[in-house]
Amino acid sequence: MTRVAIIAAMPGELKPLVRGWPHGTRNGVEFWAQRDSEEEWIAACAGAGQQAATRAFAAIEDGGPIDLVFSIGWAGALTSALAPGQAHNVAGVIDVRTGERFRCDAGAGEHWLATSPKVADEAEKRRLASAYKADLVDMEAAAIARLAGMRAIPFYCIKGVSDAIDANLPDFNRFLSPNGQFQLGRFILFAILHPWYWPALIRMGENSRKAAHSIAESTLDFLR
């Protein structure tokens, strides 16, 4: 049986894809699984950042060897050419911390993704676009690409744009715990006290919802 690993950071990124799949949690990692006579698809998320992505990968691998791996989820746009709400197949991933480049397997798209150790604001997005010639930014994909390469597992990456390059958003880094968990209660309190962010946050929420559906459609089309 072919085991396909699908790794994201947050449950919301996976929600449209795994609707109706059996769900469970183990050691801080959330799982969803679906199988037929030939394939098993296992989706997992453990939080934002490369360490969390590594935990999710290891948790799936505990159940048996992985034959194919996807990094999916939300990403920020580094160019105005990529509209929020749409998913894109990624050509390759750049680890901003190390400079390593990981090319996705055959059939990938044309856009490069930079994996950053932090949530990028507008200034950082423009720096990444200039320094790495990347079109998207996330916090997890490089870890998954590296682990796939070490095991000679085909690697694919599908990212949906949650925020435009010039989105005026709060500093989300202050709401991420050391293990990559988003502290929703603290963020809600902050948002209530800073109403000037409300229009941008509402747009981001709607774009994220659309992007998650677009990611699900692209992933299912690919797997079929």
> What confidence score (pLDDT) does residue 107 get?
64
The pLDDT value given to residue 109: 79
User: Above 90 in pLDDT, residue 223?
Assistant: no
- Average the pLDDT over 194-212 and give the result: 97
The proportion of the chain whose per-residue pLDDT surpasses 70, expressed as a percent, equals 99
Q: Residue 155 sits in which domain range?
A: 2-223
Which CATH number goes with the domain that contains 172? 3.40.50.1580
Determine if residue 97 is left, alpha or beta; phi over 0 gives left, psi from -120 to 50 gives alpha, anything else beta.
Answer: alpha
- pLDDT tens figures, 147-186: 999 999 999 999 999 999 999 999 999 999 999 999 999 9
Number of CB atoms found within 10 A of residue 101's CB: 13
pLDDT digits (tens, 9 = 90+) for 3-60: 999 999 999 999 999 999 999 999 999 999 999 888 999 999 999 999 999 999 999 9
User: Using CA of residue 83, residue 85, residue 90, residue 94, what is the dihedral sign?
Assistant: positive
Query: H/E/C letters for each residue in 30-51?
Result: EEEEEECCCEEEEEEECCCCHH
Q: How many domains does the chain have?
A: 1
Give the pTM.
0.95
In tens, the pLDDT along 67-102 reads 999 999 999 999 999 999 999 999 999 999 999 999
Sequence-distant (6+) residues with CB within 8 A of 193 are none
Beta bridge partners of 103: 92
**Residue 55 near residue 127, CB atoms below 8 Å:** no
